[in-house]
Chains A and B, each alone.
Chain A
Amino acid sequence: MAKDRMSGAEIVLQALKDQGVSHIFGYPGGAVLPIYDALFGQNDVQHILVRQEGGAVHAAEGYARSTGKVGVVLVTSGPGVTNSVTGLTDALMDSIPLVCITGQVPTHLIGNDAFQECDTTGITRPCTKHNYLVKNVDDLARVLHEAFHVARSGRPGPVLVDLPKDIQIAIGSYIPPARVVHKSYKPRLKGDPVQIKRAVEILAQAKRPLIYAGGGVVNSGPAAAQLLAQFARVSGFPVTLTLMGLGAFPASDPRFLGMLGMHGTYEANLAMHGCDAMIAIGSRFDDRITGKLAAFSPHSRKIHIDVDPSSINKNVPVEVGIVGDVAHVLEDLIKFWKSTQAKPDAKALKAWWGQIDGWRARDCLRYQNSETIIKPQYAIQRLYELTKGRDDVFVTTEVGQHQMWAAQFFKFEKPNHWLTSGGLGTMGYGLPAAMGVQIAHPKALVVDIAGEASILMNIQEMSTIAQYRLPVKVFLINNQYMGMVRQWQELIHGGRYSESYMDSLPDFVKLAESFGAVGLRATKPSEVDGVIKAMIECPKAVIADIMVDPKENCFPMIPSGAAHNEMLLGPADKREQPISEDGMVLV
């Protein structure tokens, strides 16, 4: 064992090492220089130098989501912190485990408006799961180990440790991460057997059941996804997934109805509307899912499994709430299902599947393809078809139409391979997230399905990608508009395209080249396959600029303020008044 007296900065490095951290994402500055100095003299923890702190947080999110480990960020005080706030909020909304270590001015200057000072714990209190300001070097090791524990356990989330510069220099005691038993923080893993029993009773009586699973299944770990598949198999129930849940159930399974929600499939949304029993597993009845709350799944008895008690009965009251980790609860639920020999009404279930197949026959994702102009759906479909043989494909996205098309047309068989900003909807997430994924999986095919507006928000990270020779592929769905803004303006604001068109976009091929990457471009449908193949085969980073139909809209769509059974299926399905007055105020 090494010495147990060391500087605060050395304690940070030792704690990272003992927590099994191999990579951190960061950007130096005055208030973290002692930690950067400690980094310099060691090889256990590799630092990835980003180009803006926001990129570091999204990269750590990508790293965390694709590995199941805690992502680690190191930034300086003041602007380093404020630049990180978007990423921290993103991680909080999507339950991504992060530890963010921030430099702070020395303790005696706190509150004096010192250079690059900000109230870090104050600013980040609402956008972290928890945060700490360490004012005594002897607390530092315990706080760091506790931060990792809080970040990864229960409902995962970002935890911030603010570290004044004098604490980084002070000499203190190091303690190893012995089993952390927190005084007050004790997330519940096992579900209440009484509630699990009630859930099984309701599900066994169901005539039109539905499993509605979300990102909590992914966060619970690979076992949870396997148990979900097992439960679907033994029960014969249909499964729909949220945007964050994609991959938690194999897309190729005939029981899968596709994604639900605002841009979900017809069959998934009508099944939500028509079911008589619903089990929500690690999903949170977000407004993108429920649409109009008063008309949401009006005839169903509802069961909700979630590790976060505050998710239960927040938006939608449920009959049975089970607080616990998805894998633990599903394991008990399947055991109980089998031991009671639960047998749902086979005839009713068959009729239910018949109804679902009828909805499926509408083929809601169908679009009008073109021989002359690239349809964005076609481009993503081809990307999927030309990569589906591989099992090492990771997809990140930015935010907007391309994100929804990616969710609709790219099929995922396994969890942790789909990374998108679901809750916060952060434009600029995809490129740095892809970078983080590629760091964790150097040989994998990592594709950022991007929009040209979003990617410009963090385009500086192309320089990081170049520095670390990361073969990240950017599949740019370039429609020269903020497509989703344009779509809403068309549908809701009378086609007044206020500020949603971007003039003077860069030449993305030249931009790629200027960062030492390869630029490719497709302008007609016949060029798409060739560009995709060249992109995949290229050993370097690539920006594939896919010039798509600028006017294409993303369907199906539940207009804001509408119910699941009021979906718009396509451009021909326009209504007199697609949006109610109540819906106008919604986002």
Chain B
Amino acid sequence: MPAPAPIARHTIAVLVDNEPGVLARVIGLFSGRGYNIESLTVAEVNAAEKLSRITIVTSGTPMVIEQIKAQLARLVPVHKISDLTTAGPHVERELALVKVRGGGEKRVEALRIADIFRARALDSTPESFIFEIVGDAGKLDAFIALMAGLGLVDVSRTGVVAIARGPEPL
């Protein structure tokens, strides 16, 4: 028996018609065929042509990743697909809002760590902060993990958006 194929994380950008049901088609495809979704973001990016861009972070063997791309391409409202992970260098960013509650030393420590991570305080009360942090998913994970010991009460994350480096569009 050959060794099992390695499972890798891929970031896939999909350009779709911004029409009702298009997100349901994409999500239904993933759940119906048993593919993973680690994160998914969607927003309109071209109002004139009514195009939305979906960024999906998924994982699978090379054969599964190829299937995901082929199955996405089969959806009628899908214009373009790019596997940013294999297409070349790209930039990934995610934004998180992190609510921390506490006082005294912990409050000071939270502010100090936020400073190191270049997180901004968006809201402050005598007993809480809301931090905004931007970075790749790993940086957000690290920040949130540190806040866990300092009164973390709530997290909201956008999911990953990504774009290829260099002058070319999708």
**Which residues of A are interface residues toward B (Cβ below 8 A)?**
121-122, 125-126, 129-130, 133, 150, 182-185, 294, 308-310, 312-314, 317
Contacts and interface: CB of A to CB of B under 8 A. Distances in A.
Contact of A184 (B1, B32, B71, B79): B79
Nearest to A133: B20
A184 B66 contact: no
A158 to B, nearest CB: 13
Nearest to B20: A133
A183 B25 CA distance: 18
6 contacts: A125-B21, A133-B21, A150-B76, A313-B63, A313-B66, A317-B63
Interface residues of B, number: 21
A129 B63 contact: no
Given A125-B24, A126-B28, A310 B79 contact: no
A133 to B, nearest CB: 7
Contact of A310 (B17, B21, B24, B71): B71
A157 to B, nearest CB: 10
B76 A130 contact: yes
B73 A310 contact: yes
Interface string B21-44: 100110010001000000000000
B8 to A, nearest CB: 16
Contact of B67 (A130, A182, A313): A313
A278 B21 CA distance: 40
B24 A309 contact: no
B150 interface: no
A184 B20 CA distance: 16
Interface of B: 1, 16-17, 20-21, 24-25, 28, 32, 63, 66-67, 70-71, 73-79
A272 to B, nearest CB: 20
B34 to A, nearest CB: 13
A308 B74 CA distance: 8
Nearest to A125: B28
B67 A184 contact: no
Contacts of B32: 126
Contact of B78 (A133, A184, A294, A309): A184
Given A133-B20, A184-B77, A309 B28 contact: no
A310 B70 contact: yes
A287 B32 CA distance: 18
A568 B76 CA distance: 43
Given A133-B20, A182-B76, 7 more contacts: A126-B32, A130-B76, A183-B17, A184-B79, A309-B74, A310-B71, A313-B66
Given A125-B24, A126-B28, A310 B77 contact: no
B28 A312 contact: no
A185 B80 CA distance: 10
A183 B71 CA distance: 18
Nearest to A130: B76
A310 B78 contact: no
B70 to A, nearest CB: 4
B70 A312 contact: yes
A183 B20 CA distance: 16
